[in-house]
Amino acid sequence: MRKNILKYCIFISLILLVQCSSFLRNPRPSIKQNFPKVDTSISYELVGRKGKENKIKATEILKALHRTNKFKEISHFVKSDLEWKIQIILDESPQLSILLGEPVQPVSWVVEKRPTRFFLYILNRLASVTTRLVIPIIQVSEEVVTFRIWKANQKVAEYSYPIDSIRAIGWISILLSFFDDKKEIQLIYADYALKFLNDSEKNYE
């Protein structure tokens, strides 16, 4: 029993020590770098899970909006009574945890809605454990960034952009890390904020 617990602890330690690699499943968007200024002040509202990762993503989006100087003023909606508001919604599809602990979403949801994915999830975890991470743990992430434009409490327009990625954890990931998409993933949220400004430029009239 103690030997099994020791092996289990060693395996968990290896998981924490080995390299993780991340890859985008969709290319970064093409963006026009021309952002005509508008004589409009806006407020913003962030909607989504309040986790560390989402705070980082939201910060990248807000930085991009500020850098363009497109709007006369940008402020948080709580401190503002402006006519125009942009809702920024960070939505992630239900998924299971990497290996242990509580799942990010109930297991029943994945089993019922995506049985094939659940089967591949179990198969991958078993293969990773039995090969001691020679076969990497694979986690698929499907996110959607949505921007909703409101004027006087009436929705004017909505723009949604999918951000899909794959994360691999294991010994092979050490080699893959030299050409993975970690930097691109960090930048893609700002990219979609700029694309949103391109797509919505005719709405602020």
82-131 residue pLDDT tens? 899 999 999 875 554 544 433 455 555 556 666 777 778 788 888 888 88
Q: Taking a C-beta distance cutoff of 8 angstroms, is the pair 148, 89 a contact?
A: yes
Q: Is 148 domain-assigned?
A: yes
Q: Is 193 domain-assigned?
A: yes
Q: Is 195 domain-assigned?
A: yes
Q: Is 178 domain-assigned?
A: yes
Q: Which backbone phi and psi does 139 adopt, to 5 degrees?
A: -130, 125
Model pTM?
A: 0.78
Q: Is 204 domain-assigned?
A: no
Q: Is 56 domain-assigned?
A: yes
**What is the count of structural domains for the chain?**
1
Q: Is 205 domain-assigned?
A: no
Domain that holds residue 35: 2-199
Q: CATH number, domain at 90?
A: 3.40.50
**What is the pLDDT at residue 146?**
95
